[in-house]
Structure 1
Amino acid sequence: MKHLLGATLLISLFLTACQNNETPKTVTAPETKKAPAPAANADSIAIADAVHGFFTWYDANSERLGKIQFVNDKGKHLTLDEKQFAVYLEEVRKSGFVSETFLNNETKFYHACAKIWQTEAKGDVPTGLDADRFLCAQDFVAPYNTGKVTSDISGDGALATLTLGGADAQSIFTFDLKKENGKWLLAKLGCDMGVKY
């Protein structure tokens, strides 16, 4: 009997100890806050906006720019009409998407072309003029102002890659950009069209 009483007491103590008399509390997940985008992400977005913005501007203005005749074909060889070329560069500057470095690089490119033109027959396809300089293509490939842009940022400089097309056929273009006064601007086209400058 002692054992029965001891066992009953032990079972009662065990059951009492295991009971949870507290009312259950509702557990809510901690509030998640979206972390602010890191500066690199903001810069990547600004770079994509600069590339897309430039091509949106160019699409709207390419016909007008094409009417500025900065290549003179009056002599034995083609020459660069510096006065008209300055007008052309000023129009490109007005886009708001290019840096002074970009304009200097375009000047170097066309001066290098002008030297090569002196060795080319006038009837040949002139070096540097066989494709659209900004599209780096003879034919319009796709909407450049909506293509995927990725960037590799290093301080106030970046290399942006614009990818057009799908998985089966892609066209890839590169651009150097620089950050001036907090704004990303194109500094150089990756398309040299076979001209060293």
Structure 2
Amino acid sequence: MKLIAVIISTAIIFYSCKSNDKSNGSVQNNEQEVASPAADSTNIRKVITDFYNWYVGNESRMHTYPLYQSINNNDAPPYKINWDAVAKYQAFIKDSVPQLGQAFNDNQKIFFQQCDSAFKKDTTGEVPYGFDFDWFTNSQEDSKYLLEQIQKPLPWNITRNGDEAIVEIKGSFKDDKGVEQTNTVQVLRMKKENGQWKISKTWSD
């Protein structure tokens, strides 16, 4: 009887050790599947840099679509959004600009709806609401200036929340005394789509 008890005890200990090994192995595998924040930051920075490198050379293509039009067809207010042109514009983005995700098109469609509503309230404004700045630089600055700032080896502030992120791009300038100062030159929103980081918004509300 003692021999049988020893054999049973040994079998139980061996089974427990095997179970622990499997459990530990599972935990290790799960840890390896989680992307590191550093890797995400590197990918986010590359997506943004790639997009603005492309944009500087293709900015004119993005502005060939007549996204708004005169209601009276005389190039004067009141205006309305040209939704047919918006559809073609967003199809071009989807097919030709991989750094901009579906969330970008969704957010910009909401923006255009806001513009259309503003047009109906302001029927005399010569400059259409929402079209007095570059959405991609969020300013009236030349896009080359933003690209120059993006290419500087400065750390950016990247705040992640699950599959979304807010990116504060840092640039630098010299003040009146010639001292180098850093500042935020652009704030972007990012969203991970199908495992890839994409730009989801480039302008502020």
Structure-2-length-normalised TM-score:
0.68
Counterpart pick for 2:190 among 159, 163, 177: 177
C-alpha distance in 1, partners of 2:157/2:50? 15
Counterpart pick for 2:48 among 36, 47, 51: 51
Alignment match, 2:204: 191
Counterpart pick for 1:146 among 132, 144, 151: 151
Please give the root-mean-square deviation of Cα atoms over the aligned residues, in Å.
Answer: 2.2
Structure 1 residues 122-161: aligned runs within 5 Å: 122-140=124-142, 142-144=145-147, 145-147=150-152, 148=154, 149-161=156-168
Alignment match, 1:119: 121
**Alpha carbons of structure 1 residues 122 and 59: separation in structure 2 relative to 1, 3 Å:** farther
Work out whether residues 47 and 198 of structure 2, in 8 Å CA contact, stay in contact via their aligned partners in 1: yes
Percent identical: 22
Structure 2 residue matching 1:118: 3-state secondary structure: helix
Deviation at 1:169, TM superposition (A): 6.6
Deviation at 1:190, TM superposition (A): 4.4
Structure 1 residue matching 2:92: 3-state secondary structure: helix
Structure 2 residue matching 1:172: 3-state secondary structure: strand
Work out whether residues 173 and 191 of structure 1, in 8 Å CA contact, stay in contact via their aligned partners in 2: no
Structure 1 residue matching 2:121: 3-state secondary structure: coil
C-alpha distance in 2, partners of 1:95/1:150? 24
Alignment match, 1:162: 169
C-alpha distance in 2, partners of 1:121/1:77? 4
* Higher-helix-fraction structure: 2
* Higher Rg: 1
Gaps of 5+ in 1: 1-37, 193-197
Which amino acid in 1 is paired with 2:185? I
C-alpha distance in 2, partners of 1:92/1:44? 24
C-alpha distance in 1, partners of 2:108/2:38? 29
Work out whether residues 133 and 139 of structure 2, in 8 Å CA contact, stay in contact via their aligned partners in 1: yes
C-alpha distance in 2, partners of 1:121/1:169? 41
Structure-1-length-normalised TM-score:
0.71
Q: Count residues in correspondence.
A: 156
